[in-house]
């Protein structure tokens, strides 16, 4: 099959790396000439937000998928009209890429998500009491386009543009669950992972799996995944980010209609990875076993503060000497502060051992520049 991917970043790269063991041709579209996929696919430099560019890219493919949701969904809808398979479908991409539509989707399908109101760009009038979270309607990712407004003083930082104003949840844990559905309606769910964020960068710091949860909390998550998969009405792989509040209630934060940073530890920690699963979804094959086979965790390799330029991974040789430690670099030659450059997966026999290993590895390696 000729499989087209909108976006040529690290998620597409790892999907292609996993799928190279099969017999397909991969095509990628990305605006950056040195995108991570440019050396391992049939690469086209172009804007995946441009209608005609996406249409021309997809018209001769058997299937088109995404590794970033900020793409031209109208062009994908036209490709569907022309008989090209799009996974996930253009309708759910359009819904999820706009935070307002995404929140209304949860409300319409009785999926628990924090109370919200819609703010348009014409007024700063807000009924939601402080503190609250503001999320830009479009374009946000990796913590960008999201801010917490805690005090009256913070109100001066309010973005006067289309956005969601959301009640601030008293968070106990941030969790993620990755679900998959193929065209035949078969579904699979990966074990829940816990996300531990870097408070400064608002980026994922550690990802840990499995997570100890009570049966009552597990049942809440199961109900959410079942409602979501029934409502979404599309094949695809979806990462549902969740909040567990201090009172034991689960809320949906947001959903990504694609591969996700919170599933990277599945590369070595699960019977099959999220990348294997995504390939099977795209091809409409039987879905893969998702069981966790051991405690696994992931830490991001992020560009250090004060360093921009040709990347150097300080301490990497020491990391490579460690057992049950797996390095995944993204093929990005230039680093800058906060840029995701790779990740490291670690395996262990217990959560305590896993956390010790992750902290140790994080202290050993630094992403700097020449």
Does the pLDDT at position 172 exceed 80? yes
Q: Which two tokens stand for residue 88?
A: 């996930």
Does the pLDDT at position 201 exceed 80? no
Does the pLDDT at position 192 exceed 80? yes
DSSP 69-88: S-S-HHHHHHHHHTT-EEES
* pLDDT, tens digit, 9 for 90 and up, residues 108-150: 999 999 999 999 888 778 999 999 999 999 987 666 899 999 9
Strand partners, 195: 174, 207
Per-residue confidence (pLDDT) for residue 208, from 0 to 100: 95
Q: Which two tokens stand for residue 84?
A: 């090209």
DSSP 303: B
In whole angstroms, how large is the CA radius of gyration of the chain?
20
Decide: 168 and 135 in contact? Cβ < 8 Å. Answer: no
Per-residue confidence (pLDDT) for residue 203, from 0 to 100: 57
């Amino acid at each position: 099959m000729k499989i087209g991917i909108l976006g040529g970043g690290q998620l597409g790269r790892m999907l292609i790396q996993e799928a190279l063991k099969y017999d397909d041709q991969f095509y990628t579209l990305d605006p950056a000439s040195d995108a991570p996929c440019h050396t391992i696919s049939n690469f086209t430099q172009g804007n995946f937000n441009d209608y005609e560019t996406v249409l021309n890219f997809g018209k001769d493919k058997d299937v088109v998928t995404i590794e970033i949701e900020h793409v031209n969904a109208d062009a994908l809808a036209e490709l569907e009209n022309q008989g090209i398979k799009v996974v996930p479908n253009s309708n759910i991409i359009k819904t999820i890429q706009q935070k307002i539509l995404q929140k209304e989707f949860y409300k319409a399908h009785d999926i628990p998500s924090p109370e919200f109101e819609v703010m348009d760009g014409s007024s700063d009038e807000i009924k939601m009491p402080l503190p609250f979270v503001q999320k830009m309607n479009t374009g946000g990712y990796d913590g960008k386009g999201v801010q917490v407004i805690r005090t009256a003083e913070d109100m001066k930082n309010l973005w006067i543009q289309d956005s969601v104003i959301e009640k601030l949840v008293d968070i106990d844990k941030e969790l993620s669950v990755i679900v998959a559905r193929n065209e035949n309606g078969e579904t699979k769910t990966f074990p829940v992972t816990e996300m531990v964020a870097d408070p400064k960068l608002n980026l994922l710091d550690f990802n840990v799996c499995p997570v100890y949860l009570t049966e009552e909390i597990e049942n809440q998550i199961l109900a959410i995944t079942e409602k979501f998969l029934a409502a979404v009405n599309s094949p695809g792989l979806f990462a549902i980010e969740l909040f567990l509040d201090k009172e034991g209630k689960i809320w949906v934060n947001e959903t990504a209609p694609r591969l996700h940073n919170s599933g990277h530890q599945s590369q070595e920690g699960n019977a099959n990875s999220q990348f294997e699963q995504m390939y099977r979804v795209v091809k409409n094959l039987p879905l893969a076993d998702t069981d966790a086979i051991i405690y696994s965790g992931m830490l991001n390799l992020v560009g250090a503060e004060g360093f921009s330029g040709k990347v150097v991974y300080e301490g990497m040789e020491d990391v490579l000497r460690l057992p049950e430690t797996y390095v995944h670099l993204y093929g990005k030659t230039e680093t800058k502060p906060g840029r995701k450059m790779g990740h490291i997966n670690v395996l262990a026999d217990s959560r305590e051992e896993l956390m010790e290993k992750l902290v140790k590895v994080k202290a050993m390696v630094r992403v700097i520049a020449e």
